Structure 1
Amino acid sequence: MLREKSEELLAEQTRRRQDEREMLRLEEQRECHQKLQVQESRLLNHYLRLKMKRLAREQEDELALDMSILEQLLTEERDEKQGEVMRKLRDEGRVQTEQEHQQGLVYQDQ
């Protein structure tokens, strides 16, 4: 009877040790899994920040190109308007010169 009790206690201790080892193994596995999740989360955040920076840089480049095109169009429009004004002034100058010339002929006839 004592021997049976002793064997039962020994078997119980062995089961407890096995359970403790299994618990430790599961705890280590959980911690390892948790560390991997944290690393993955950090890596994803890092890649997301890189992607956001790249997208922002692309938008800035696109905006700079759009501004450059707009400035070029405004310059061309301004130059065209200046050209029109200069042509009008030249044409008015010719008309005025012709009128003065004709008036000069009229005065000579008198």
Structure 2
Amino acid sequence: MFFAPEKDEHVKAFMMQTLMNDCLLQERDIRTLVITKDGFNKPANLFSPEDIRHLRKKYKIKGNDHTTILIGKDGLEKHRWGETTNWIFITELIDKMPLRKVEMTSRPSRCSA
């Protein structure tokens, strides 16, 4: 989940990078969400305004901060960072998780390096 105050250059960069890393994200079953304080959400209409308030409160998102949160398949927060995503670090972090290790032994990577 990428939280931002508005649809700014950091949001646009994040969305572009998710497209560029689509194979790696799909292979790891990663879903990306963008939620901005000014009302832009991607995917659109997934959350109600009340849902968004709840998420901002639950994850302690400050109004004008750019905060990205990796949530595991167990529903727990695994990592948190700011406006710039290091995709290599994130994919390596995910690949170290127990469930992902099992997935990697049963399915070879279909993404080119």
TM-score interval, smaller chain: under 0.3
Alignment TM-score, normalising by the size of structure 1: 0.16
Point out the structure with the larger strand share.
2
TM-score (ref. length: structure 2): 0.16
| Larger Rg belongs to | 1
Name whichever structure is richer in helix by fraction.
1
